[in-house]
């Protein structure tokens, strides 16, 4: 039994060492480089979760909810620096942009708390007046005491209203300041895998391929990432070149020719440009609001069919094919 325990410990240590080496390779390849995002990114450290192995890698409704709650930090086409790449155990890779998004422990520690107004309750003087009213000798004295009580109550309520207004104003200023901080704190992609991170996905090419529909990384052609060409075998190791570029051994083949059947190649996650490369220019185009999310609606005519497509942040999230 003792041998088995030490064997397990050795395997765990080896796995952690390999993970650290992979993270170091990703940091050397990406950190400090520039990336142009292709989608709106929420102003939060929650960022956008990408599941490359799923049929629908991104839940765009979740992204919309995060933008509604926290605002938008990055817009399509915006250039930003890759500030940090972190491999989290064997579950996901954090790809942090422009600071990684607001919401880390340090952000909360350095932020002011919301202001609450403390309302004053009934004063001792008011209670004394109420007792004197009960014991008043005649209606004249009772009316005088009741008037004094009404004046005290009115003054207290005005003070409470003023305190509430000041607290509300302070909280509005705080929220405005927080929106600015969130917008300036960047965002991130969380590249997630349900059954552990495959070896290839821990290489610069693997990361770039996973993010190709959502970001264009300097020094890493989009065609490389989209096709996953020259993908190494699972057991192969990868050492990035000193300048962060992919080594010659991992260089992709030339881009494949466009698919002859545009409709057959259509899938969720494609960009507007990729859809129009398959189907041609849109016949109609307009934008609608679904809650706080701007959805671009376009229709196409191809192969005798009509395609109705919906895009969010320049990415295809839904489509329907019907007869013309």
The CA distances from residue 27 to 45, 104, 148, in Å, are 19, 20, 74
pLDDT of residue 247: 39
Instruction: Summarize the confidence of residues 130-143 as an average pLDDT.
Output: 89
Q: Which two tokens stand for residue 137?
A: 């000798």
The architecture that CATH gives domain 262-323 is 2-Layer Sandwich (3.30)
pTM of the model: 0.52
Which is nearest to 266 in space by CA: 200, 221, 317? 317
- Is the pLDDT at 4 greater than 60? The verdict is no
Share of the chain above pLDDT 90, in %: 37
Instruction: Summarize the confidence of residues 224-229 as an average pLDDT.
Output: 43
The region of weakest confidence among 30-34, 117-121, 261-265 is 261-265
pLDDT of residue 204: 92
Q: Which two tokens stand for residue 114?
A: 């919301």
- Predicted confidence (pLDDT) per residue in 63-118, tens digit: 999 998 888 889 999 999 999 999 988 789 999 999 898 876 555 555 556 667 77
Distance CA 111, CA 162 (A): 25
- Is the pLDDT at 234 greater than 80? The verdict is no
The region of weakest confidence among 147-151, 209-213, 223-227, 272-276 is 223-227
Which is nearest to 216 in space by CA: 98, 92, 82, 83? 82
- Is the pLDDT at 159 greater than 70? The verdict is yes
pLDDT of residue 224: 45
Buried (b) or exposed (e) across 47-86, using 16+ Cβ within 10 A? bbbbbbeeeebbebeebbbbbeebbbbbebeeebbbbbbe
- Is the pLDDT at 127 greater than 60? The verdict is yes
What is the pLDDT confidence band of residue 198, given thresholds at 50, 70 and 90?
very high
Distance CA 74, CA 9 (A): 43
pLDDT of residue 113: 61
- Is the pLDDT at 17 greater than 80? The verdict is no
Q: Where are the domains of the chain?
A: 2-103+186-250, 124-181, 262-323
Q: Which two tokens stand for residue 104?
A: 């880390």
Which is nearest to 278 in space by CA: 293, 297, 265? 265
pLDDT of residue 19: 56
205 CB neighbour count, 10 Å cutoff: 25
Instruction: Indicate the SS3 state at residue 285.
Output: strand
Instruction: Summarize the confidence of residues 168-176 as an average pLDDT.
Output: 68
């Amino acid at each position: 039994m003792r041998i088995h325990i030490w064997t397990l410990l050795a395997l765990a240590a080896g796995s952690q060492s390999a993970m650290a080496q992979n993270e170091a390779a990703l940091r050397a390849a990406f950190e400090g480089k520039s990336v142009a995002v292709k989608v709106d990114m929420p102003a939060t450290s929650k960022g956008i979760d990408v599941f490359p192995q799923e049929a629908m890698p991104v839940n765009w409704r979740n992204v919309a909810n995060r933008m509604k709650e926290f605002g938008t930090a990055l817009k399509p086409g915006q250039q930003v620096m890759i500030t940090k790449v972190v491999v989290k155990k064997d579950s996901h890779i954090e790809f942090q942009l422009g600071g990684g998004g607001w919401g880390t422990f340090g952000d909360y520690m350095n932020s002011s708390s919301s202001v609450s107004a403390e309302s004053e309750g009934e004063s001792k003087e008011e209670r004394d007046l109420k007792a004197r009213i009960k014991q008043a000798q005649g209606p004249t004295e009772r009316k005088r005491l009741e008037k004094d009580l009404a004046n005290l109550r009115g003054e207290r309520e005005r003070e409470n209203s003023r305190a509430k207004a000041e607290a509300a104003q302070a909280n509005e200023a705080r929220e405005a300041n927080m929106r600015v901080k969130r917008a300036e704190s960047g965002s991130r992609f969380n590249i997630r895998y349900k059954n552990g991170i495959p070896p290839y996905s821990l290489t610069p090419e693997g990361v770039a391929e996973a993010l190709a529909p959502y970001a264009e990384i300097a020094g890493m052609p989009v065609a490389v990432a989209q096709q996953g060409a020259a993908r190494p075998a699972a057991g192969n190791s990868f050492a990035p070149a000193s300048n962060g570029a992919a080594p010659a051994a991992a260089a992709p083949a030339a881009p494949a020719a466009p698919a002859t059947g545009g409709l057959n190649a259509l899938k969720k996650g494609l960009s507007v440009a990729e859809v129009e490369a398959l189907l041609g220019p849109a016949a109609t185009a307009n934008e609608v609001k679904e809650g706080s999310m701007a959805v671009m609606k376009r229709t196409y005519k191809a192969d005798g069919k009509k395609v109705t497509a919906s895009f969010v942040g320049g990415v295809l999230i839904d489509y329907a094919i019907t007869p013309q």
